[in-house]
Amino acid sequence: MERWVETGARLRNELDRSGFDALLTFRLENLRYISPYQPPFSSSINLRVAAIVTKETMIVFVPQIDLMGLREIAGDRFETAALPINQATWAGELQPVLDRLVPNGGTVAVDLAPAHIMAGLKGTFVFDSTPWENARLIKTEGEIAAMRAGLAMVTKGIEAALATAVAGKTELDIAAAGEYAVRMAGAEGFAFLTLCSTNGDIVRRRFATDRVLEPGDFVFVDIGAVNDGYTAEFSRSTIVGDAVTDTQRAIHQTAYRANRAMIEAIRPGVMASDLDRVARDVIMASPFADRIHRHVTGSGIGVLLQERPIISDPFDGGVDEPIQAGMVLNVEPGVYDPVVGGLRAEDIVLVTQTGYELLTPYPYDSRLI
């Protein structure tokens, strides 16, 4: 069974449990979840797609240029239609479909929508993304396969990037080498701009520059690929040359120990807040407590870079919930020193019935752990 057929059925089951009569979305990642649509643009380009999902069927709207290709792949499994470039006409395109698929004043859940389009629609709308979020919590075998393949592509990129991290090369050289390897491995695109920072710049910026590497530099690299609509990413760090300082090693070891403690705690039934606390306690007990990460300690990952569950402290407003078998989690505690440098020790983990499977076995720099 195609991956998107299974996930589409899962979404409709969630819709049936939700009490809503239909879902309306304008988000590209949602179309990737329920269809084989593969556009030549990223989710950062908004207002190009839409979908209406009911318990019995769905209709997917895409740009006219992509309609023929989508119909050839989807066949008669769901309806397809084109959206005009003029967004002012979209309400007129969507209203007849809503009237046909959601008769008698049914309730439509809208996860995110532009106000100027919603203002032109008539019906009972509730802004609620819960059905989409609940459906995406537990990954199907097809989703896991897509992410495994994507992580294999990222591995090629990390290998190439770290091999380029030598004196005389620039941060841009490292990022470009990683991106080239990922694309040559088959990725359809990137989940984000490849990150490469050296030394204390990691706390001030994340993007690569033309800074030339010197012996002793602390280099952090993070690469994210997209495969079949699914995000795959992880990061690694290294030191340029042979000399590693005690402080560099201690910073890396602290983040790494927090990562491993968090991974070892993963199992069905544990709360997301417990995973955050395990990693946070390691860092807070170290000499680097004041340099602890100021981002989520972890999260789900799938068609979005960050999905539920959000594993975080109150700084990021994480919503606590139990970890379940079938979730795929990004584990990423970090330590960031404004002078020496830093990292987030990042791995992707599949939650199994009895514990976890590490999906990113790529080694860390042995000199630093």
User: According to the model, what pLDDT value does residue 315 have?
Assistant: 57
Among 171, 196, 189, 273, CA closest to 231? 189
Distance of CA 197 to the CA centre of its chain: 21
The long-range contacts involving 141-144, CB below 8 angstroms and separated by at least 24 positions, are 142/1, 142/2, 142/3, 142/4, 142/6, 142/7, 143/3, 143/7, 143/230, 143/302, 143/328, 144/328, 144/350
Answer for the pair 122, 102: CB distance below 8 angstroms, yes or no.
no
CA distance 64 to 81: 8
Sheet of strand 356-358, all strands in order from the earlier edge strand to the far edge: 307-311, 298-300, 328-331, 347-351, 356-358
Answer for the pair 338, 283: CB distance below 8 angstroms, yes or no.
no
Q: What is the pLDDT along the chain (369 residues), one digit of tens a residue?
A: 899 999 999 999 999 999 999 999 999 999 999 999 988 765 545 568 999 999 999 999 999 999 999 999 999 999 999 999 889 999 999 999 999 999 888 999 999 899 999 999 999 999 999 999 999 999 999 999 999 999 999 999 999 999 999 999 999 999 999 999 999 999 999 999 999 999 999 998 888 999 999 999 999 999 999 999 999 999 999 999 999 999 999 999 999 999 999 999 999 999 999 999 999 999 999 999 999 999 999 999 999 999 999 998 765 665 789 999 999 999 999 999 999 999 999 999 999 999 999 999 999 999 999
Distances (CA, A) of 127 to 24, 28, 174, 250, 307: 10, 17, 43, 47, 18
- Is the domain defined by 141-358 classed in CATH 3.90.230.10? yes
Residues 6+ apart with CB under 8 A from 347: 234, 259, 263, 330, 331, 332, 358, 359, 360
CA distance 208 to 213: 12
User: According to the model, what pLDDT value does residue 17 have?
Assistant: 95
Answer for the pair 323, 269: CB distance below 8 angstroms, yes or no.
yes
User: According to the model, what pLDDT value does residue 47 have?
Assistant: 66
Answer for the pair 258, 282: CB distance below 8 angstroms, yes or no.
yes
User: What topology does CATH give the domain 3-137?
Assistant: Creatine Amidinohydrolase; Chain A, domain 1 (3.40.350)
What global pTM score does this model have? 0.94
User: According to the model, what pLDDT value does residue 44 have?
Assistant: 47
Instruction: Report whether the peptide linkage leading into residue 309 is cis, meaning its omega lies within 30 degrees of zero.
Output: yes
Q: Where are the domains of the chain?
A: 3-137, 141-358
Answer for the pair 351, 341: CB distance below 8 angstroms, yes or no.
no
φ and ψ of 44, to 5 deg: -75, -15
User: According to the model, what pLDDT value does residue 316 have?
Assistant: 62
